[in-house]
Structure formats: structure tokens, C-alpha cells
DNA sequence: ATTCAAAGTTCCGTATAACGGGACGAATAG
DNA sequence: CTATTCGTCCCGTTATACGGAACTTTGAAT
């Protein structure tokens, strides 16, 4: 099929099935076959393989992904002890600010939500653990970028470009590098409605003892509460304090 | 390879790789090849396929599962709106009892933790979302079994048997069926140290409007706090009340 | 610095097993 | 009761997944 790439195409088909089920929630054999352009027998064989191994369940409404993925997902975020410490800090930040706090990690050139906690003034959010957003359009992502070697930043840009999510998203290459420089000087990042209109955030990168980036913490909230002294002084210093403590915890755990 | 079963063996290999990474946390190409008895080129092709699709990351310490699984895992537990309602009830139960509460679901003949919340008197637990335990050795699992058709129970027994986790685990077939009958009469299940020595729990099944089992709620705690009036009256009635409300919420949401 | 060993990547010919088509059986609807 | 759709199974063909080997890179040791 794809002679160029040196991959296992049956595995790709299986992943296509998984992703289809991820999108549809539930799907019948014939639907899977049609949507993925496979013969019924092939779709059947793939679904049964995944089912036998416990990754798919066959319900009355069709096939669906099983909770096996919950185990794998939970594993990916507890594997790294630094993530667990970061999660505790997120709780603390959310409690102290009453806004939303989150910990994100860069993976495959995108920023992934690892953990998120909303304070009492909860803002309905469309983010959830595992969700991926462009690095250049999130406070944590920008903070992470600012501590990555330039070559890495270039590679990410080449792969994903600078998609605009709102009219305020950074879409210019030079502007991005200027902003990263700014973040390095300031020590923290600002995302002013770059992800969602009306939402502002401050972020800071978390590094280990060698200076390698682990992820980024951020605090976000609606523009009417994210301004003035709170936004310019209180939150940044809270965030930097939390990041600092976290880095110490990680280094000397 | 396995001519009997009608499965896709390349996909099985890929799943082997995923499961190896789940166990090892991180593994190098040569390790993967050796452990799974694959040639280096095959292991390489599989790892790169998974990496290209975003399911694996190539770090300094070797390959590891990516946070893509966090997205899939989170999806499996939010897909079903009933699960979300159940999670809210778990929070309520944990708060009101100050013990640990959980919601579990039966899948592939095993009981899976979907969500768990520990009250203030937190007991360190080895359970986590996605973890699978034998149905016959958990309060929620037993409650679920009691509402499944006998044929289904038989099938589960045939597949998994009655493994003993402690000296108190039900290991006798007849004893299990007697216990299930008992649960039906009582309306809730009791797990007296069947999972872990010193841990007791009460559980109840959650069904939808047609009587189809959705999952099970349970409250668990150390034996010194799970006894007397609390264990025999208060918790069961709290649990049954919560289950009842939950079923109404699910039916008329 | 230089050498050596181990790990990782790429290429290629061969044998296998993944594929689609079709036949059969089951379930649902008209 | 018939017709249609859906799911399962089987089989011959061919694409492709495989292992071996050559090559490159990494990094450890001297």
C-alpha cells in the first residue's frame, strides 16, 4: 500500500479502527468496513483481534473501545514521578487562585494536558486529560518552547506550522521567537486569548536538575478576572513560586 | 503463526510491544526485540509505526507509551453519560462516609475500576482507574454478577475461574451462587476481606431502565471502621439510596 | 584521539499471512 | 413468510511482513 514508509500497514489499519471508534464512540462491523474502505472480512478480523486482546468490547450498539485504555492512560501519567508531584502543585494553584490550573507536557510537537484542576470559580472547559493543543497557542506550551533548544523549536514549527485558533494567536515566526525571548527574560509566559477568545493565562516551564524541560504549569481564567495586579503580579509570582518548589521536589525527591 | 485463531498477527505483535512498554515503562529497541523474540528490523518497524502514529515516544531512555493513551482512556470513561453521573455519586459517597467509594464496570469478565474517590480517612490503595480485579473478589463485582443472567455468570466462571486473593476469597462455585442469591435478597453485596486482608466493602449494582447492568458502586474501608451499625445499617442504606438516585438520574437524564 | 563493541537503521529476497470475494447463517424488517 | 441486511467463515491469490545482512551511529574504553 504505502511502499515509501517503512511501517506495518496492518498495524496502521488496526490504529485506524481504534481511531474510528474513538470518534464514533461505537460502530458496527459494516460501518467500520465502509468507513475505512476495508472488506468485511478484514474489518472483522481486526475487530476480533482487538477484542480478544481486551482492547475492544462488542456491545449491543456495536464495537467500542474498552476500559483497557483507561489503564494505559493512567499509566502514562503516573509513570513519571515528576508528573505526580506536578499534579499536586496544580491542585494547590487551583485552590489558591480559585481559577483553573493545569500541567502540560510537550509530545510530538504538541502540548498535552496531563492534569487540570478548576478552582471554585470553575470555567466550563473543553479541555480534558490527553487533549492536545498547539504549543504556540497555550501558556504552558509557550513556556516549554522558551526552554527548548532552537533546533527543536524549528523542528516543531516545520512539522506543525503556526495555526491560528483565534485572531490573537501568534502566527508569525519572528513574532514567536521575539515572544520566546521575552518569556526567557520575564521568567513566565502569557497567553492572551491565543487559544480561546476571552481567556487569558500565565505559564511557566518546569525543568529537571539538568535543565531538561519536563513540562509546564499554567493558570488560566476569563479576561475579566485575569487583569490588573492579580494578573500582572500575584499570579505570576504564585506560579513562579510553585514552579520553583516543584523543581526542588523533583530534584531532591 | 497461529493458524487456528483468525486474528491479525502483526497487530498482536504491536499489542505485545504496547504491553511490554506498559510493564517496563521504557524499553530500548534491542530489549524489545529480545524480549518479544523478534528480529531487530521487525521490532524497529513496529516501534516506528506506533511512533509515527503518536502512540509511542522515543526518549533518551528508550521507547515509551505516549500520552495519546491518556486521551483514549479518558474517552472510554466519559463516553457513557451514565459513568459521569456515577462518578458524581462516588464523590458524594466518599464525602458522606469519609471512606473510599468506587464505581466499577464488568468488562471481559473482570471488574474494572472506572473511578474511585477516597474520603478524608484515606486508606492507601493499590487500585487506580483501569485496574482489573476478579469479579468474585470485589463488592461491586459481586453485585454486578448478581444481576447478570446465569448464563453470563457461567461464561465468566469458565473463562476466569475463582482465583483466591486472600484466604477469605470465594473459591467454591456453589458458594458463589449461594452468595449471589443472598445478594439478590439483601439488595446489596458484602465483600469481607475477599480482595485484601483487613478490608471490607459493601456494593450495589447499577442498572438502566431495562434492568441491564451498567456497573456497580461500592464503599470500602478497614475492618476496624467497617463494623457494627455503620457497616450493617448506615452504609448499606446510604449505598442503596445513592444507587436508587443514580438509576433515576440515568433513566430520566 | 583512536579503536572497538553495541545499538540502531535500512535494504532486499522469500515465505507467509493478510487480503477480498464469496458462500453461508443469523437476525431484523416488511 | 420472504427479503434484506449484517455478521461469520473459508479459501486461493498476492501483497507485505519477516529475518538476515550490510551499513551507520553511538558511546565506552584505552
Report which of A127, A75, A21, A53 is spatially closest to residue B70, judged by C-alpha positions: A75
Check pLDDT > 70 for residue B3.
Answer: no
Integer-rounded Cα Rg, in Å, for chain A is 21
The CATH number corresponding to A74-251 among 3.30.450.40, 1.25.60.10, 3.40.190.10, 3.40.50.720 equals 3.30.450.40
In 3D space, the residue among B242, B234, B25, B214 whose CA is nearest the CA of residue B117 turns out to be: B242
A24, with CB counted inside 10 A (0-12, 13-18, 19+), is middle
Distance of CA A50 to CAs A69, A215, B85, B181, Å? 12, 33, 28, 35
Query: How do residues B180-231 score in pLDDT, each as one tens digit?
Result: 999 999 999 999 999 999 999 999 999 998 889 999 999 999 999 999 999 9
Distance from CA of A87 to the nearest CA of B (A): 15
CATH of region B77-251, choose from 1.10.10.60, 3.30.450.40, 3.40.50.620, 3.40.50.2300: 3.30.450.40
pLDDT lower than 50: segments of chain A: 1-3
Contact A181, A187 (CB under 8 A): no
Cα–Cα distances in angstroms (integers) from residue B157 to residues B38, B151, B207, in the given order: 35, 10, 22
Tens digits of per-residue pLDDT, A9-53? 999 999 999 999 999 999 999 999 999 999 999 999 999 999 999
Nearest to B72 among A8, A69, A132 (CB): A69
Domain boundaries for CATH 1.10.10.10 within chain B: 9-66
Contact B72 A72 (CB under 8 A): yes
CB nearest to A8's CB, from B46, B114, B129: B46
Bases of chain D below 7 A from a protein C-beta are 5-11, 15-22
At the topology level, CATH places domain B9-66 in Arc Repressor Mutant, subunit A (1.10.10)
DSSP state of B232: I
The residue of chain A nearest to residue B48, with distances taken between CA atoms, is: A7
**Cα–Cα distance list, B146 to A112, A124, A169, B172, B247 (Å):** 41, 39, 55, 16, 17
Instruction: Write out the residue limits of the CATH 3.30.450.40 domain(s) in chain B.
Output: 77-251
Residue A230 burial (10 A CB sphere; 0-12, 13-18, 19+): middle
Question: Is the distance between the Cβ of B34 and the closest atom of strand D smaller than 7 Å?
Answer: no
> What was the pLDDT predicted at A1?
40
Locate CATH 3.30.450.40 in chain A. Answer: 74-251
Amino acid at each position: 500500500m504505502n511502499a515509501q514508509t517503512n511501517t506495518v500497514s496492518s498495524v496502521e489499519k488496526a490504529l485506524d479502527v481504534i481511531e474510528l471508534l474513538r470518534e464514533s464512540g461505537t460502530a458496527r462491523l459494516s460501518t467500520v468496513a465502509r468507513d475505512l474502505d476495508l472488506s468485511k472480512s478484514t474489518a472483522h478480523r481486526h475487530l476480533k483481534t482487538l477484542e480478544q486482546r481486551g482492547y475492544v468490547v462488542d456491545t449491543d450498539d456495536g464495537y467500542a473501545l474498552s476500559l483497557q485504555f483507561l489503564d494505559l492512560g493512567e499509566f502514562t501519567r503516573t509513570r513519571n514521578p515528576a508528573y505526580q508531584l506536578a499534579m499536586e502543585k496544580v491542585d494547590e494553584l487551583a485552590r489558591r487562585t480559585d481559577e483553573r490550573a493545569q500541567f502540560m507536557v510537550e509530545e510530538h510537537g504538541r502540548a498535552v494536558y496531563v492534569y487540570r484542576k478548576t478552582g471554585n470559580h470553575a470555567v466550563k472547559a473543553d479541555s480534558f486529560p490527553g487533549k492536545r493543543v498547539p504549543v504556540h497557542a497555550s501558556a504552558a506550551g509557550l513556556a516549554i518552547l522558551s526552554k527548548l533548544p532552537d533546533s527543536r523549536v524549528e523542528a516543531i514549527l516545520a512539522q506543525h506550522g503556526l495555526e491560528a485558533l483565534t485572531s490573537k494567536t501568534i502566527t508569525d515566526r519572528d513574532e514567536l521567537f521575539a515572544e520566546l525571548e521575552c518569556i526567557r527574560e520575564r521568567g513566565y509566559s502569557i497567553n492572551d486569548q491565543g487559544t480561546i477568545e476571552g481567556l487569558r493565562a500565565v505559564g511557566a516551564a518546569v525543568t529537571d536538575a539538568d535543565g531538561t524541560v519536563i513540562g509546564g504549569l499554567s493558570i488560566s481564567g476569563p479576561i475579566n478576572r485575569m487583569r490588573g495586579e492579580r494578573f500582572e503580579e500575584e499570579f505570576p509570582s504564585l506560579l513562579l513560586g510553585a514552579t520553583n518548589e516543584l523543581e526542588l521536589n523533583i530534584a531532591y525527591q
